[in-house]
Amino acid sequence: MSQIYGYVRCSTKEQHEDRQVIAMREFGVPETTIIIEKISGKDFNRPEYRRLMKKIKPGDTLVIKSIDRLGRDYGEILEQWRIITKEIEAAIVVIDMPLLDTRQKDRDLTGSFISDIVLQILSYVAQMERSFNRQRQAEGIAAARLRGVKFGRRPLDYPAEFAYVRDLWQCGELSAREAARKLGVSHPTFLAWVGEVKQKW
């Protein structure tokens, strides 16, 4: 008996899966076969997706909300589509794009060709949009730096006893590690403070 699965992916902890899960329920995916995965943007290791791929059999259907849930870039989306539809011989339904529904077994060659073209265009557009977003972010940061905006954590204020402890260190009465302990900071932080003071003078 064929099975229908829903795959929900959130790329950050801040994102919530509700919107995707609601779409799965409305489409008719059983609650027990909705797979939810939360991964970081930097690490695309997807254990839930890999387990899902081991479960899916010929004749099953995988439902996703949007095409970018399949992969993080153009090449990976197309590769996953090929594996599912050609190697596993399962169907894919993209809720946001009705044209991308391979359950229609009676589609002629023209229909299949159009579906493949639509998939490639959408995957390419999704990748280009991510690239444009990164470019706009980089340009925004560069413009802000030109205006004098500082990025990164605000440096800590030196403790009141810093000058005294630094003088003890410079006289050889304290090691750098001992000086750092007295100030309640790490060894590298103490040395960085000493360097900053030298630069100011």
The position carrying tokens 């090449």 is 75
Cα within 13 Å of Cα(153), Cβ side: 3
Rg (CA), the chain: 27
What pLDDT score was predicted for residue 201? 46
Alpha-carbon distance values, 119 to 31, 45, 50, 68, 113 (Å): 27, 23, 22, 11, 10
- Sequence ranges of the domains in the chain: 4-132, 162-200
Which position among 11, 40, 115, 186 bears the catalytic label? 11
- What gap in Å lies between CA 133 and CA 123, rounded to an integer? 16
CATH class, range 4-132: alpha beta
Q: What is the pLDDT of residues 113-132, one digit of tens each?
A: 666 777 778 777 777 777 77
What pLDDT score was predicted for residue 29? 96
Q: What is the pLDDT of residues 22-66, one digit of tens each?
A: 999 999 999 999 999 887 545 567 889 999 999 999 999 999 998
If one compares 53 and 105, the residue with the highest pLDDT of the two is: 53
2 is annotated as an active-site residue: no
Q: What is the DSSP letter of 85?
A: I
Name which of 9-13, 50-54, 65-69, 135-139 the model is least confident about.
9-13
